[in-house]
Structure 1
């Protein structure tokens, strides 16, 4: 248990875990924060503000139109 706790608090928080995924996780977190900041509005106001590459991936999904 002591070893687990030492490892848990060995690295600073908010850097991502494991280290090899840290940059991807930080980018995902920033994307989610951005989406959250703009999605407190009507969908028709949100879509034009979204990243074009991201939206192209979204609209290629079969179930997107069903959800909307």
Structure 2
């Protein structure tokens, strides 16, 4: 998934205050050594590992961070 598509999806998830918060995983599970983020979902390893234990508010916070990360200029 391209960064722009991920950012658009993330904004939809953050805006939808009702219902379950879906996982941002897109089954492209590879960590970028430079950024420390998954190249598929833009999460840190801590966010990935802790996802199943997070409540909906924490998950939405992760999605907000994904929006910021996906919209940052890439080197």
TM-score of the superposed pair, with normalisation by structure 2: 0.28
Structure number with the higher helix fraction is: 1
TM-score of the superposed pair, with normalisation by structure 1: 0.30
Higher relative contact order (CA 8 A, sep 6+): 2
